[in-house]
Structure 1
Amino acid sequence: MTRIDRLMAATKPWPADAGLETAMIFHEGFDLPQFASFVLLDDPKGRAALGRWFDGFVDLARRGGTGFVLDTATWRANMGWAGALGLDEAAIRRVNADAVAFAKNWRDRHETETLPILVNGVVGPSGDGYVVTAARTAEAAEQLHWPQVQALAAAGADLVTAVTMNYTAEAIGVARAAQRAGMPHVLSLTVETDGNLPSGQDLQEALAEIEAATDGSALFYMVNCAHPSHFSHRLDGPMRNRIGGIRANASRLSHAELDAATELDDGNPQEFGTDYAAFRQLLPGLRIIGGCCGSDHRHVASACAHLHAHAA
């Protein structure tokens, strides 16, 4: 049974990590140009910080008797951001290969028969994750994301996940690139405080559009980078059974407010866990729980405590 098979068959949701970039900036003091965490891989101190970060989360999986979803530090490692980061296509491919190599090496030191660790190749938006700055067609998005997706696949990632997608065409493009590369994939959308995508589209409508355009190729869908209070009321709809992951923000602030913030808003970790407890009834197919901006080990630990205690 593959790691993907074990995830899909699991009776308890697997933890993933939380707000890596915000933690590295505000807790560890690193400078991440354009919010690009892959720069940590070129710094021994950065690699050590990444290792410590993931160490805390795998302990949650061990205590909960689940597997662990290990993200690559590649949210900004796509061609949409290459120019701003001074990289060409060859460098983007190298960054993604290095990120998978780091993740696999870390996995080799922690995985056991009872604790499978799935290397998740993270694909971020080609523009601002909070604002639809330059909407592309699905075809253009597929071509733009292809170098990263192909590099993640060639390096041996188990899964590709499109994270913080704010309009449907880009998510469709990533799905098609993943299909082309023969990669299992998950698609994660973000929403504003009203539960709609930054494009203005209703969450359920957006998921249904992606499902139709991709022939349901995704293993499942997720919601990330928004507080549970922003989207919980939008989960109970026709696509509810296809939502398999939640990686929420710790903060109740809007995307615009988060962009302008100079201090980290880490919300309330205990409240975060209580919010996640409600997902047990809302989302029967919940398979991944983690965090996004402002969240850390405390938040995911609280979510795990609520969801693992009541699972078979």
Structure 2
Amino acid sequence: MTARPAPLPQLDGGLWIADGGLETTLLFLDGIDLPHFAAFPLVETEDGRAVLNRYYQPYIDLAESRGLGIVLDTPTWRASLDWGAQLGYDPARLESVNRRAVRLVAALLTGRAARSVVSGAVGPRGDGYVVGATMSILEATGYHRMQARAFAAAGADMMTAVTMNYVEEAIGVASAATEAGLPVVVSFTVETDGRLPSGMKLGEAISVTDAATDGAAAYFMVNCAHPTHFAGTLDEGGDWIQRVRGIRANASALSHAELDQATELDRGDPADLADRYRRLRTSVPSLAVVGGCCGTDHEHIQLIATALATPN
């Protein structure tokens, strides 16, 4: 398997962090209403930008104090055409808010000592936990093209497809980013059996995406699942493991179906989660970027960074 080289500093060695679960932190810990689980409308108001600034600052401070790099995602997981329409956004306004989100994150990182990368985040067209209606590769490329172009125009360093649950959409996102001239990272989510919600094995999904895009992704990640759901899959090994460079796990060991029904935040056991990341380094030796997803906050990421700085 050959992968196209990508000029991303997080692949040059050393540990980089990402942030945690943006939406779950704002919703459950900060009491911010997020219709359709969308954080991007906060970019448009002064109060909303202040909320986002407060969310991001502890992660930037952590990277700076530990001498780590940081990959910071824009709050645009839901800022795509269908989700935006449900919130009253037309395509032009959506494109504008995606650009503004990049500039907001970039401004927070300007002048800080931490090495940093601004990542334009895109999510699935449908529900991240349920495949539902699927797109062809061509349809997926067209659907995600607006965000890719907006990120590129605003000066993002890269684009990340977060919580991908079937390969055609992942391939489409990678294609849209490549068209826009952006390095791209693809992050798949898995169920408790380590397979994508589509039923495909993780290794197969990575290999199929690479084959269809000529290795366009700079690397792959796993997100929105607890390590107990995918550690066994990673332990199986294979050539595809070298393409996994990032993990953003959930705090909770609950299944996606159980999380969908949850009315309270499950922060899990932060110390146990950090130790599981430490053990994952054995099966994923090229692990470079670590962060969190649903239920995680800066405490989780601080403990994970500490655990990974400790020799096995």
Same fold (TM over 0.5): yes
1:20-59 equivalences in 2 (<5 Å): 20-59=22-61
**TM-score by structure 2 length?**
0.95
In the TM superposition, residue 278 of structure 1 has moved relative to its aligned partner by 1.0
Question: For structure 2, which runs of at least 5 residues remain unmatched after alignment?
Answer: 1-5
The aligned residue for residue 6 of structure 1 is 9
Which whole-Å deviations, capped at 9, do the CAs of 1:272-295 have from their partners, x for residues lacking one?
A: 100100122111211110000001
TM-score by length of 1: 0.95
CA distance in 1, matches of 2:194, 2:8: 31
Match in the other structure for 2:121: 122
Structure 2 partner of 1:299: 300
Q: SS state of the match for residue 251, structure 1?
A: coil
How many angstroms apart in 2 are the aligned matches of 1:108 and 1:276?
Answer: 29
2:281 matched residue in structure 1:
280
Which AA in structure 1 matches 2:222?
A: V
Partner of 1:153: 152
Q: What are the superposed Cα offsets for residues 28-83 of structure 1, whole Å, 9 maximum, x if unpaired?
A: 11111111101211232322221122111122212322211111000000113122
Deviation at 1:4, TM superposition (A): 4.8
* Of 72, 86, 95, the match for 2:97: 95
Contact 2:44 2:97 (C-alpha < 8 Å) held by counterparts: no
TM-superposed CA distance for 1:96, in Å, is 0.2
**Aligned match of 1:244:** 245
Letter in 2 for 1:252: A
Alpha-carbon distance between aligned partners in 1 of 2:252 and 2:297, rounded to the nearest angstrom: 12
SS at match of 2:290: strand
> Structure 1: which amino acid aligns with 2:311?
H
Segments of structure 1 that go 5 or more residues without pairing to the other structure are none
> How far, CA to CA, are the matches of 2:64 and 2:80 in structure 1?
32
> What does residue 225 of structure 2 align with?
226
Comparing 216-225 with 63-72, greater Cα deviation is found at 63-72
Q: CA RMSD in A?
A: 1.4
Q: Deviations over 1:107-162 (max 9, x none)?
A: 114x23xx211101001111100001111011100000001110011000001000
8 A contact 1:159–1:184 mirrored in 2: yes
Tell me whether 127-136 or 34-43 shows the greater mean CA deviation.
Answer: 34-43
Partner SS for 1:51: helix
Distance in 1, matches of 2:66 and 2:92, equals 40
Q: Between the two proteins, what is the percent identity of the paired residues? A: 49
Q: Structure 1 145/254 Cα, relative in aligned 2: closer, same or farther at 3 Å?
A: same
- 1:255-274 correspondence to structure 2 within 5 Å: 255-274=256-275
- On the 8 A contact 1:4/1:158 being kept in 2, the answer is no
Contact 1:64 1:308 in 2 (8 A): no
- How many residue pairs end up in the alignment? 305
C-alpha contact (below 8 Å) 2:226/2:251 kept by paired residues: yes
1:108 to 81, 94, 110: 110
Give distance in 2, aligned partners of 1:26 and 1:97: 27
Q: Given that residues 60 and 109 in structure 2 are in contact (C-alpha distance below 8 angstroms), is that contact kept between their aligned partners in structure 1? A: no
